[in-house]
Amino acid sequence: MDNSKYLDVFIEESRENLQSLNGMLLSLEERGFDEEGMNEAFRAMHTLKGTAGVIGIPSIQELAHVMEDLFDVLRRKRETPSRAVLEALFAGVDTIERMLGDLETTGATQRPIGDLACRIRAAMESAPVPAAVSAGTGGRFVLEKPQLDQIRDVLPEGNRAVLVTITWSEGLKFKEGRAYQVVKAISGLGSLLASSPDIEEVADPDEQLVLVLGTTSDDGTILDAVHDVTGVSEAALAPIDLCDRADAPAGPEDSRPSEKGEGEERRAGPSAGSSIRVKSKLLDKLLDLVSEIMINNIRINQIASDLKNRELKQTLQNNARLMGEMQDIVLRTRMVQVDFIFKRFPRLVRDLSLANGKEVEFIMRGTDIEIDRSLLDEIGDALVHLLRNSLDHGIEPKEDRVARGKDPRGTIILSAFQEQSNIIITVEDDGRGMDPERIVAKAISKGLIKSEDAERMDDRSKLQFVFLPGFSTSETISDISGRGVGMDVVKTKIESLGGFVRLDSTLGRGCKITLKLPPSMSIIRAMLIEVNDEKYAIPLENVRETVRVPLEAIHAVADRCVFQLRDEVLPVLNVRSEFGSLGSMASDMPAVIVEKNDSRACLLVSRLIGQQEIVVKSLGKDLRQAGYFSGATILGDGKVAMILDVGAFT
């Protein structure tokens, strides 16, 4: 059987399970043992092991099997594991992640796992499991008071509580299925109150299954039903002493009865068929098709307007409504929570903190904010770089923080929130901050600015030098912050997505980087203008207002023209002349006030056309290098209009 066609699904599901495991391990390290989290981790590893076996990837199956056994030991022991055990589990998660990467790129993985498997087995041997069941006097099994209370609460009236211990045949496979057969066999003889392990968590390494049963049936009937199940080697039954004596020894570790109806509630939840997995490439293709239909619709509307056919126009108006709904559904289908990418960062911060010898509290906020999947995929590397910078250059060593009266433990906050139609993501730390004077001194030494010009700059302007390629004030190269890679990488990436970056810093108190992103890169609202008989589009996000500028209101200051709009003096750029017009200017000119990265400018144009929803098309390398354009679109008349990059004018 060829399972290669399921490989993509296996990789995606396995990465989700690894994210869950990373989160549980981090919680275990910070907060100590959590029973629910540990059971979730065991289930995730159990699933990963099983699917790896079905797909036919023995190396992942073997490593996952060893890790599953260790998780089983830990959940039975109910104690926070040692640093060595945690590091072994982290190493196992990282190795499987790298193996998934191999599968994604080459379709196979040859990574050796022998040494790591031995290390995990050694960790398992260092954490022995306490006995699962202890007997009281007279062979009657007893439990702790909280367990007894729970059993009393759910035990049907007139029933007695018994404990059934099942030993599996040696070498038996698919024990989880056998366990379900046992439950089915005794379902008519009483109520299953608890099991150890949970029925859905039974694994092949388990030697026994312990059930707590409320029943009115006799012992022989119950044992006969259990023995009829293939794979059961032995079965023993003993009554449970419901006397809550303080000196009673511990009973089954995982015999936690559920509330009545819990199973029914679980089954009543969302069914497996209520959602499906769709490849992001298919969604991208679907959006492209919707975009093409929108372009055709705009063209047909233009033709209908020229023909002045009322019935055709009314039909097209209804069609436009349906198109809008379809576009909205497609865009919402592409939306995912930022937690999709945020959840990988706690592990990153934890590892970098240890490597850098710093104590850091990492806080994430707004993880339920939704964003276009294509945008989220693009900003991952930028966020990694910002977090690395905060750890390496921002957060000070513990002794330095204490000397400055700060908490020895630094704080990094990753936040996401919505502002109007935009998504805002911030990375904030309470570290040393950036020194504007040190930055400008470095800029002067590199010949980027003259000292007399620097004296006229405010602190915010001085900070902008960090976005220049190769600019760094660090005297040493660090592996953590990216070996000298500058913030220009972040700025270039975010601006290529139609967003912008803002830097705020207070020396000695910390730094904050703000990323502002559009809701989607594919379909936007724009202001259409005309320059020298050619039509252009300006993203509406960058348009502040439109005005008419009298020619006499434009003044020359130094080597540039400016225009005063109310209390603000704006630089003026005559786009007509910039794009080749040699004609004379009218007494007053239509203008668009544009803004990007907190900088504003006044663009003089030939004519204002109006607002329109446009489909963004990417540009070739040559046009991108021109600097003025961020994309292109097709208008209703079938002609191509360039989308202006406002950043080139501000």
Residues with active-site annotation? 46, 68, 389
Q: What contacts 515, CB < 8 A, 6 or more positions away?
A: 379, 382, 424, 425, 426, 494, 499, 500, 501
Contacts of 60-65 with CB under 8 Å at 24 or more apart are: 60/14, 60/96, 60/99, 60/100, 60/109, 62/113, 62/117, 63/92, 63/95, 63/96, 63/99, 63/113, 63/116, 63/117, 64/96, 65/205
Contacting residues for 209 by C-beta, under 8 A, at least 6 apart: 165, 166, 168, 175, 179, 182, 195, 196, 197, 202
CB distance 516 to 424 below 8 Å: yes
- Going by DSSP bridges, is the β-strand pair 523-531/510-517 parallel, antiparallel, or unpaired? unpaired
Q: Residue 563 to residues 80, 178, 427, 470, 570: CA-CA distances in angstroms?
A: 67, 82, 36, 35, 5
Angle (CA) 381-21-150 rounded to 5° is: 145
Distances (CA, A) of 534 to 306, 584, 643: 20, 17, 12
Contact partners, residue 595, CB within 8 Å, separation at least 6? 542, 544, 601, 646, 650
Please say whether the dihedral angle defined by the alpha carbons of residues 197, 125, 80 and 13, taken in this order, is positive or negative: negative
Q: Is the peptide bond before 197 cis (omega within 30 degrees of 0)?
A: yes
616 by DSSP, 3-state: which? coil
Closest CA relative to residue 46, chosen from 67, 24, 73: 67
Strand 422-429 and strand 208-215: pairing?
A: unpaired
Q: 57 with 108: CB under 8 angstroms?
A: no
Residue 632: in which H helix or E strand, if any? strand 629-634
In 3-state terms the chain splits into helix, strand, coil percentages (rounded to 5) of 45, 25, 30
Asked whether the beta carbons of 338 and 425 are under 8 A apart, the reply is yes
